[in-house]
């Protein structure tokens, strides 16, 4: 079995990772994949120079997220005795996590409930609720 863990660089992602470890222990032979999605819109109408700068910034963001979020998470999981890997992508959070689950052959996605609230979330929804509504595999939302 394979579990995809959506990390957010905050406490909710840490809670999702902790819950995934509990599940993995109960399941037994289980692989954990830590994933971090950098919110990114592919739509932009800019000059060639602006697009080159945007690409450079995008690559820097991938590198930073890998070293600050994914690498420590994977190390922690491996140190705890789990088979683990990690991945960072740019894109819409819900859509990208679902795509990663499909690409990785994950049986379940585990995410933390976003702490964002208020007016914005009521109108636009959150990445977590969008994921729950559109995922092609079961989603566990950790509070």
Pairing state between β 139-142 and 83-91: unpaired
List, for residues 80-93, the tens digit of each pLDDT value.
Answer: 999 999 999 999 99
Report the range out of 7-11, 39-43, 113-117, 124-128 with the highest average pLDDT: 7-11
> Can you tell me whether residue 128 is helix, strand or coil?
helix
Quick: pLDDT tens for 17-68. 999 999 999 999 999 999 999 987 666 656 777 777 877 888 899 999 999 9
Please provide the average confidence, as pLDDT, over all residues in the chain. Answer: 88
Q: How much is the pLDDT for 4?
A: 98
Instruction: Report d(CA 4, CA 15) in Å as an integer.
Output: 14
Mean pLDDT highest for which of 5-9, 45-49, 70-74, 118-122?
70-74
DSSP 10: S
Residue for token digits 């990785």?
104
Spatial strand order of the sheet with 83-91 comes to 83-91, 31-39, 2-7, 108-112, 139-142
Biggest CA pair distance of the chain:
53
- The confidence score (pLDDT) of residue 43 equals 62
């Amino acid at each position: 079995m394979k579990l995809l863990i959506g990390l957010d660089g905050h406490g909710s992602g840490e809670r999702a990772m902790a819950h995934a470890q509990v599940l993995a222990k109960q399941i037994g032979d289980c692989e954990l994949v830590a994933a971090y999605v950098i919110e990114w819109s592919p739509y932009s109408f800019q000059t060639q120079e602006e697009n080159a700068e945007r690409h450079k910034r995008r690559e820097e963001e991938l590198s930073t997220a890998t070293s600050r979020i994914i690498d420590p998470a994977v190390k922690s999981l491996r140190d705890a005795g789990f088979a683990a890997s990690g991945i960072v992508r740019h894109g819409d959070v819900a859509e990208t996590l679902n795509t990663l689950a499909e690409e990785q052959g994950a049986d379940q996605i585990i995410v933390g409930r976003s702490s964002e609230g208020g007016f914005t979330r009521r109108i636009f929804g959150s990445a977590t609720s969008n994921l729950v509504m559109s995922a092609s595999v079961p989603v566990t939302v950790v509070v």
